[in-house]
Structure 1
Amino acid sequence: MSISVRTARRDDVPALVRLRLANAEPHIQLDPASYRVPDAEVVRRHFEELLSAESETATVVLVAEVTGAVVGMLELVPLPVPPDHQILVPRRVADVHTVVLEGHRGEGVGSALVAAAERAAAERGISTLFAGIFTPNEPAVRFYSSAGFGPRGTVLSKDQRAHLDE
């Protein structure tokens, strides 16, 4: 099986929408309080804007194809460099968000996307990639760990919804 990875184009938008929506259901099963199925039209507009010729966003969207069909995507989303007044050493970092269609997991599609994202990040001077996994998701932890990602600090959160209802 041959996997090819390339930068997404505007004509990939329907496939990107399909991938985003397909990714929602397994996440909802993991944590229905945190995840939802986004509106397909809003997702379409997001990707059309992101991939428009006028877009100045630094986000990179990669797609993986198998026999000409898009079966995976990865978004490389640069984060702001810490400002001079903070104690963090200024360096360019980015989040990665990877989606592979269910029938193509375990075939190397995700690994090919991450490898391409690492090259794209290096070309942009990005030194660190983050893969946020916000709910117990052992398959995602295994996947990113196998790609060389490891723990970095601790992210703590506090649900403020009760205060919002007051």
Structure 2
Amino acid sequence: MIAITGANGNLGKATLSFLVKRTIPSNIVAIVRDAGKLGEYAGSGIHIRTADYEDQESLEKALTGVERLLQVSSSATGVRAMAQETRVVQAAVHCGVKEIAYTSTLFPSGFAHFHAAHVCQNTEELIRRSGMQYVFFRNSMYHETVPLFIGEATGRSFIRRATGV
């Protein structure tokens, strides 16, 4: 089975739409915090499972039987994001996931001014050491996350991101 975390977000829904046209729906696992947000897929044959990046047990339950995983990076920041993404990787390893695709960022580095670069660098390293086959998508910032960073900029005239200031 193929699983997508954050399956109710823009990337998650686009991925579901793509997969539904190319595989049997019963091969797809859509992982969300709130199953009600994927109502349009109810009865489609897709397995809709609930999990939260804050809850290791829920992640392990959601990833049971999954062979391939699209891990959409956390929208949290800092230490919280690092802990969340670590839980996803640990759950994937625990459940025997064979392949993982991770939505990283441009230039993941512990030296970047962009905090998500530190998180992505850590997550990529965990995945590399996990024994799973992997792909890293090095995307820039998603437009729907911009409001999450506005509070960060209070008192400054800039917002640091992977693409620069």
> With CA pairs under 8 Å and 6+ residues apart, which has the higher RCO, 1 or 2?
1
Q: TM-score, normalised by structure 1?
A: 0.34
